[in-house]
Every structure is written in C-alpha cells, then in structure tokens.
Amino acid sequence: MKISTRARYGSRLMIDLGIHYGEKPVFLKEIAKSQDISEKYLSQIILLLKSAGLVNSFRGAHGGYVLAKPPDKISMKDIVGVLEGGFNLVECVKDSSKCPRVSQCVTRDLWHILEESISDTLSGFTLDDMINKFKAKQAQLGEMYHI
C-alpha cells in the first residue's frame, strides 16, 4: 500500500494554506514555489479540495486560495480521503458482492480492521496539529525546514 503523490502534495498544500490562515489569499504559484511542486499539478489538486469544500478561491489581483474552515476543523482524513478517493483497500470490504468468497474469507476481516485503523489515525490529526508540528520542527531546525 502506498499513499499517492496527489495526497502527499495535497497535504503539503493544505498545511501551507493553513500556515497563512486568517491572512490574505495565497496564490497557487507561491505555494508551488515554496513547496517545490509543479503549479500545474497543484492546480489539479486544488480543484478536488475546492469541490470538497476544504478550500475557497478568489479571483483578481488580490485573489488566491484560502482554507474554507479553520485548520482545527479540518482533519487529515478529510484531506487524504478526498485526494485518495477514500480508504478502500480492497473492494470486498465496502461491497461484499465484489467477491464470491466473502463469507469464508478470513483476510477480509483483516483488511476491514486495517482500513478502520488508517481512518482513525488520520481522523486523530487535524490540519492545525500538522501546522504546529511544522512550526516546532522549523523552530528546532531553523528556516531550512520544509513541509
């Protein structure tokens, strides 16, 4: 199992927006530069986050992106779930009709427990928690620390 680049970069994008929460909107090109991520790729990610109601956008010279909610109201599960399309590790956990062996399969229970564990762990961290972790590492390591 592997977390996609989209979820990793999207998490960094959201943390960057969270650092600027309450300030003026941030241009995507500024985030792309600070995170060393392609602006084109971030523009695809931001659309998913915006359609999920996690980000708002503003047009014009003073436009850009802001979080739609305070960072302490956005969980990492919210972010990763949108960008990964959920936490469905195997089809049979969500839809038992996908497998004829579901009634006798012992591994299905394991996959279900694993999905719940991932979901619970990500729910346990808010964007605010991640921002605080970033600030603590930045203070410890200096200005060279990156998300």
Confirm whether 136 is domain-assigned: yes
Within a domain: residue 112? yes
What CATH number does residue 63 fall under?
Answer: 1.10.10.10
Mean pLDDT of 107-120: 91
Considering the domain boundaries, does residue 146 fall inside one? no
Alpha-carbon torsion angle 8, 69, 38, 80, nearest 10: 20
Top-confidence residue, 112 or 129: 129
State percent of the chain over pLDDT 70: 96
pLDDT band at 86 (very low <50, low <70, confident <90, very high): confident
For residue 147, is it within any domain?
Answer: no
Is 118 within a domain? yes
Q: Does residue 11 belong to any structural domain of this protein?
A: yes
Q: What is the pTM of this model?
A: 0.88
